[in-house]
Amino acid sequence: MKINIIGQGLVGSILAYTLSEKYHCEIKIFNNEYLKTSSSVAAGIYNPITGKRMAKTWLADSIFPFMFDFYAEIEQKYNIKILYESPVFKPFASMEEQNFWMGKSSDITYQNDISIIENIEIIQNSISHPFGGFIVKKSGRLDVNLFLETIKNFFIFKKCYQTVTEIPKFDENEIVIYCEGAYAAQNPLWKFLPWQCNKGEILDVEIKSFTKDYIINKSVFIMPIQNDIFKVGSTYHFTDFSEIPNENGVQELIHKLNSFLNIPYDLKGVKCGIRPAVQGRRPFLGEHPTIKNTYIFNGFGSKAVSLAPFFANEMANHVLYNLPLMLEVKLDRKVNW
Ligand SMILES: Cc1cc2nc3c(=O)[nH]c(=O)nc-3n(C[C@H](O)[C@H](O)[C@H](O)COP(=O)(O)OP(=O)(O)OC[C@H]3O[C@@H](n4cnc5c(N)ncnc54)[C@H](O)[C@@H]3O)c2cc1C
């Protein structure tokens, strides 16, 4: 089957690859390369324990095995390294938090995912962690930019990739799937959905002789990239959607980093992007309510790396075989918008 995909961010790339290579569809990607994208600034972290309450993430037991297989296949096929497993170390903020997590660590639902650590020798003095902390296993990061470049080159090679500044007119029988990220919130077709996009800043910093064995996650994360370069992030703004970094956001990151990093660092750069997030924090999958053959695959918020491979498969089965979608991701789902 022939399918047109609008947008080649992380989400459009994952869907295009899934439809082309697993479901043997004839794909054509139309991408506007002049737009600023969320994927190009994403840290690429995947983590089964997330949120303020550090709970097991939605569908963790289904999406993570799927995600590992998906990226492993890309690595093998193109002989590249894109997925870097790295435990997340989360220092406890207080004795109460330590007691709380001591209890949770014996809970069967968390046993395979976390372990409690009193002190990590290699980061002993470089960050403050007087109450110890816990390690989240099965976490790490995707090299998003290398993944995007690889998928783009693959579709260019197949002559199935086109740079556009305007979406072409399609025949009404042609299937079109919109993967426009936060730009969809401005598209008259998809404006009706309850978008809650947010902007985030992320810093590049150089920290000499700091551990590269963990992603540290306190009030901000410190994630190793290469040599002595780390990413520090990230912020959330709900009113400023300009394309330049928000100065308050930058100061917030610096302030939080200074509050627990005890060694010097150099600020090397600042980036920002708009996360395509929605009320209810579940992605949107499905066909437009009135326009046939016109679909959306979007709303992955801050979890596209881990959620999109699983849902690309759900989307493929829905579009090609009319299999029902999970209620939580349907466009007409009943949530308190
Ligand atoms: C600071 C920051 C940190 C983040 N960290 C993480 C993280 O650690 N882990 C994680 O999973 N997620 C993270 N995210 C979120 C992640 O970036 C997004 O969930 C994901 O990138 C969304 O991908 P997308 O393809 O939907 O959107 P985008 O990356 O924005 O891509 C949309 C694509 O569609 C194209 N496009 C748009 N409109 C049109 C049009 N009309 N015609 C043609 N092309 C069009 C754009 O040019 C672009 O190529 C982070 C986001 C930010 C801002």
pLDDT at 122: 59
- pLDDT tens, 179-230? 999 999 999 999 999 999 999 999 999 999 899 999 999 999 999 999 999 9
pLDDT at 337: 45
Residue 251 lies in a domain: yes
Residue nearest to atom 24 of ligand 1 (CA): 181
If asked whether residues 188 and 259 sit together in one domain, one would say no
- pLDDT tens, 235-253? 999 999 999 999 999 999 9
User: Which residue in the block uniquely carries the two structure tokens 């992955």?
Assistant: 300
Contact, 20 vs 318, CB < 8 A? no
Residue 334 lies in a domain: no
Which atom of ligand 1 is nearest to 303's Cα?
11
More confident residue, 81 or 120: 81
Residues 6 or more apart whose Cβ sits within 8 Å of residue 294 = 176, 178, 189, 287, 288
Q: In CATH, what number is assigned to the domain containing residue 266?
A: 3.30.9.10
If asked whether residues 129 and 252 sit together in one domain, one would say yes
Q: Output the furthest CA–CA distance in the chain (Å, rounded).
A: 63
What is the rounded CA–CA span in Å between residue 252 and residue 234? 9
Domain end residue (candidates: 246, 275, 304) = 275
If asked whether residues 188 and 207 sit together in one domain, one would say no
Residue 78 lies in a domain: no
Q: For the chain, what is the domain count?
A: 2
If asked whether residues 103 and 208 sit together in one domain, one would say yes
Q: Which domain holds residue 270?
A: 88-136+198-275
Mutation pick for ligand 1 pocket among 84, 162, 302 (CB with most ligand atoms within 8 Å): 302
Instruction: Give mean pLDDT, residues 164-176.
Output: 96
Residue 103 lies in a domain: yes
Residue 325 lies in a domain: yes
Residue 60 lies in a domain: no
What is the rounded CA–CA span in Å between residue 63 and residue 141? 15
If asked whether residues 230 and 104 sit together in one domain, one would say yes
Residue 10 lies in a domain: yes
If asked whether residues 100 and 153 sit together in one domain, one would say no
If asked whether residues 223 and 238 sit together in one domain, one would say yes
Helices 144-157 and 10-17: crossing angle in degrees, nearest 10, is 50
If asked whether residues 126 and 212 sit together in one domain, one would say yes
If asked whether residues 131 and 212 sit together in one domain, one would say yes
pLDDT at 137: 86
What is the rounded CA–CA span in Å between residue 160 and residue 229? 36
Which atom of ligand 1 is nearest to 39's Cα?
21
If asked whether residues 223 and 126 sit together in one domain, one would say yes
Residue 263 lies in a domain: yes
Question: Tokens standing for 246?
Answer: 């928000």
Residue nearest to atom 37 of ligand 1 (CA): 180
**Core vs surface per residue 72-109: b (16+ CB within 10 A) or e:** eebeeeeeeebbeebbbbbbbeeeebbeebeebeeeee
If asked whether residues 262 and 208 sit together in one domain, one would say yes
Contact, 304 vs 69, CB < 8 A? no
Domain end residue (candidates: 254, 275, 296) = 275
Please provide residue 336's backbone torsions phi and psi, each rounded to the nearest 5 degrees. Answer: -80, 85
Q: In CATH, what number is assigned to the domain containing residue 307?
A: 3.40.50.720
What is the rounded CA–CA span in Å between residue 193 and residue 282? 12
Using pLDDT thresholds of 50, 70 and 90, give the confidence band for residue 124: low
Task: Give residues (CB < 6 A) around ligand 1.
Answer: 6-12, 30-32, 35, 37-39, 41-45, 164, 167, 179-183, 200, 202, 233-234, 273, 275-276, 298, 300-305
| Residue 142 clears pLDDT 80, i.e. is over it | yes
283: helix, coil or strand?
Answer: coil
Find residue 175's DSSP bridge partners: 3
